[in-house]
């Protein structure tokens, strides 16, 4: 069980943070920021991601004392992030007529095009591909960090990459 | 799948390498810090949430039943469950999940029915709820009481006769049936039965003799065995016993916790006096209780 010591250390951080230890929570924040960022990047435009990251972690900090099982922390945190992204879309639809459309981030045009292609893939593949291609994690790291089995990660990467190649190639942006 | 895609070992896949180099520009290496003003949720529910929960309680079963065949907010093993759907777990426990709301673990040999929104009806069996939605939004109907989550995790079990036991692990739960209510804090439990509704809550770390006295409603034994923190139990008894017994309950109460309330006012169940007694428990201010639909109003 190669990841057991890390998981156990994180559970200890969760226990400390739930008792009000802000430093422990900031450590949890930094350990899991890439994971949460990938969840958000899979769903919302990149120029909203940093704001939403902050929202997700503040919500997690507020609600952490209610989390019963420290080992469930990452799954719980990812759920908060997915929900915050969905809420962001609902807010965006409400504000569509009022708010000006944000411009794409300059200097990242090609990256944004690839990211948009990933966002058009089936949901199951998006987060895994972003963790691999944006955050630079390997398959085993993704399995560990996202609480997925290595087989699931292999399938998501393999099928997701096949679809991504088709999209980018057919789009003439290979 | 290429080894490069799996763990970045050779041979290099040119497409993947080019895309990851391009996308790496979107990485963030910043260190994150909690804003200095980040605060924990208050221990007691916000007044607005309590008011909403009270409204929900008044509307009662009309809101609980749900619209048959509409999707519910719950999923189980990735499947969306439907309002009005009944589940019988038999030998296989199930986990209900709602990303923005919480998790409910439904035990073996348990029958539940899904109501409107996130509400559930527990007909028989056991469930454990871990709720991270705001207080007052999660309601479980049982044959003998309604449980209203006030921001917590708890376990609820109901037997074949409709009698039940609620055990609160964190936060608070309101347990109500008709005009009778109990408020159960973390570490406490409360029984309920179909004829009389919720009983009085008691701390689980109380001596067995005290818990037995609560279960059998043996008032003299409850008064004799109460520790200072068991004043919670005595406070709930004040409104449940006859006027002739109420004075004795209050006399014992004030030996356990210092309180300025007038005996005569407590015996008359005057709201201000009951609030003073509640505040003496040092659990939370009485104000949020008063925002609830108080039986002593």
- Helix, strand, coil percentages, rounded to 5, for chain A: 75, 0, 25
**Whether residue B173 is found in the same domain as residue B214:** no
Percent of residues, chain A, with pLDDT higher than 90: 25
pLDDT at A40 over 70: yes
A63, A68, A165 ranked by CB distance to B15: nearest:
A165
**Whether residue B193 is found in the same domain as residue B213:** no
8 Å CB contact of B24 and A136: yes
Ordered alpha helix ranges (H), B122-230: 208-215, 219-225
| pLDDT tens for chain B, residues 1 to 297 | 678 899 888 788 888 888 888 888 888 766 666 666 565 544 444 444 444 444 444 444 433 444 556 788 899 988 889 888 999 998 889 999 887 788 899 999 999 999 888 899 999 999 999 887 766 788 999 988 889 887 678 999 999 988 999 999 877 888 888 778 898 988 899 999 888 889 999 999 999 999 999 999 999 999 999 999 999 999 999 999 988 899 999 999 999 999 999 999 999 988 889 888 988 888 765 555 555 444 443
Domains of chain A: 1-102 (1.10.1740.10), 105-174 (1.10.10.10)
- What's residue B64's pLDDT? 43
**Whether residue B147 is found in the same domain as residue B99:** yes
- What's residue A100's pLDDT? 40
**Domain-embedded: residue B278:** yes
C-alpha angle with apex B57: B74 to B173, nearest 5 degrees?
70
**Domain-embedded: residue B65:** yes
Phi-psi region of B244 (alpha: psi -120 to 50; beta: other; left: phi over 0): alpha
Residue burial B152-173, b: 16+ Cβ < 10 Å; e: rest:
bbbbbbbeeebbbebbbbbbbb
**Whether residue B65 is found in the same domain as residue B168:** yes
**Whether residue B296 is found in the same domain as residue B178:** no
**Whether residue B274 is found in the same domain as residue B185:** no
- Our CA-based measurement puts residue B77 at a distance from the nearest CA of chain A, in whole angstroms, of 14
pLDDT at A2 over 50: no
| Mean pLDDT for the stretch of residues A35-39 | 93
**Whether residue B190 is found in the same domain as residue B91:** yes
**Whether residue B211 is found in the same domain as residue B188:** no
Judge if ipTM > 0.85. no
pLDDT at A83 over 90: no
User: B190 phi and psi, to 5 degrees?
Assistant: -155, 135
**Domain-embedded: residue B136:** yes
| Model confidence pLDDT, tens digit, residues A87-103 | 787 776 655 444 444 44
8 Å CB contact of B130 and A62: no
For residue B34, the chain A residue with the least C-alpha distance is A26
pLDDT at A12 over 60: yes
Residue B266 structural domain? 207-297
CA-CA-CA-CA torsion sign (A168, A90, B34, A72): negative
**Domain-embedded: residue B131:** yes
- What's residue A161's pLDDT? 92
Domain end among B173, B199, B225: B199
Domain end among B199, B217, B243: B199
Nearest one of B56, B8, B20 to B292, comparing CA atoms: B56
8 Å CB contact of B7 and A138: yes
Number of domains in chain B: 2
**Whether residue B218 is found in the same domain as residue B175:** no
> What is the rounded distance in angstroms from the CA atom of residue B172 to the CA atom of residue A27?
29
Is the omega angle on the peptide bond into residue B11 within 30 degrees of 0, that is, cis? yes
- What's residue B13's pLDDT? 87
| Model confidence pLDDT, tens digit, residues A101-133 | 444 444 578 888 899 999 988 877 899 999 999
> What is the rounded distance in angstroms from the CA atom of residue A74 to the CA atom of residue A36?
9
Cβ(B131)–Cβ(B153) under 8 Å? yes
B19, B31, B130 ranked by CB distance to A68: nearest:
B130
**Whether residue B146 is found in the same domain as residue B268:** no
Q: Which token pair is B211?
A: 């818990």
Return the CATH number at B96: 2.60.120.1440
- Helix, strand, coil percentages, rounded to 5, for chain B: 30, 25, 40
Domain end among B199, B228, B256: B199
**Domain-embedded: residue B31:** no
Please count the residue pairs, one from chain A and one from chain B, whose beta carbons lie less than 8 angstroms apart: 111
- Our CA-based measurement puts residue B147 at a distance from the nearest CA of chain A, in whole angstroms, of 17
- What's residue A142's pLDDT? 92
**Whether residue B80 is found in the same domain as residue B171:** yes
Cα–Cα distances in angstroms (integers) from residue B126 to residues B21, B108, B155, B166, B262, in the given order: 52, 7, 7, 10, 42
């Amino acid at each position: 069980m190669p990841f057991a010591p890390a998981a156990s250390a994180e559970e200890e951080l969760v226990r400390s943070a739930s008792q009000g230890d802000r430093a422990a929570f900031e450590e949890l924040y930094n350990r899991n920021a890439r994971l949460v960022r990938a969840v958000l990047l899979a769903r919302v435009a990149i120029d909203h991601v940093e704001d939403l990251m902050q929202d997700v972690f503040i919500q997690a900090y507020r609600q952490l004392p209610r989390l019963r099982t420290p080992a469930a922390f990452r799954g719980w945190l990812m759920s908060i992030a997915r929900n915050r992204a969905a809420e962001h879309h609902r807010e965006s639809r409400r504000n569509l007529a009022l708010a000006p459309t944000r411009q794409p981030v300059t200097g990242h045009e090609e990256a944004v095009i690839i990211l948009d292609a990933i966002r058009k893939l089936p949901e199951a593949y998006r987060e895994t591909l972003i963790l691999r291609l944006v955050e630079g994690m390997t398959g085993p790291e993704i399995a560990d960090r996202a609480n997925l089995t290595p087989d699931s990660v292999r399938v998501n990467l393999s099928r997701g990459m096949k679809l991504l190649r088709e999209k980018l190639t057919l789009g003439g942006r290979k | 799948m290429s080894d490069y895609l799996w763990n970045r070992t050779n041979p290099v896949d040119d497409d993947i390498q080019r895309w990851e180099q391009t996308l790496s520009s979107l990485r963030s290496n910043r260190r994150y810090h909690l804003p200095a003003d980040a605060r924990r949720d208050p221990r007691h529910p916000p007044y607005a949430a309590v008011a909403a929960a009270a409204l929900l309680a008044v509307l009662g079963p009309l809101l609980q039943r749900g619209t048959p065949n509409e999707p519910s907010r719950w999923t189980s093993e990735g499947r969306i469950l439907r309002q009005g759907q009944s589940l019988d777990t038999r030998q296989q426990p199930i986990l209900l999940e709602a990303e923005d709301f919480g998790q409910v673990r439904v035990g073996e040999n348990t029958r539940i029915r899904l109501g409107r929104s996130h509400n559930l009806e527990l007909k028989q069996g056991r469930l454990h709820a871990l709720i991270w939605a705001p207080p007052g939004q999660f309601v479980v109907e049982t044959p003998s009481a309604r449980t209203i989550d006030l921001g917590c995790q708890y376990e609820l079990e109901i037997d074949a006769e409709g009698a039940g036991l609620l055990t609160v692990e964190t936060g608070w739960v309101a347990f109500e049936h008709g005009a009778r209510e109990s408020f159960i804090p973390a570490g406490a439990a409360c029984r309920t039965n179909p004829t009389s509704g919720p009983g009085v809550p008691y701390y689980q770390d109380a001596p067995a003799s005290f818990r037995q006295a609560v279960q059998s409603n043996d008032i003299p034994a409850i008064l004799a065995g109460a520790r200072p923190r068991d004043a919670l139990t005595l406070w709930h008894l004040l409104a449940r016993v006859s006027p002739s017994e109420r004075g004795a309950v209050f006399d014992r109460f004030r030996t356990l916790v210092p309180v300025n309330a007038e005996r005569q006012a407590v015996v008359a169940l005057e709201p201000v006096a009951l609030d003073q007694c509640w505040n003496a428990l040092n659990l939370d201010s009485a104000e949020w209780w008063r925002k609830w639909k108080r039986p002593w109003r």
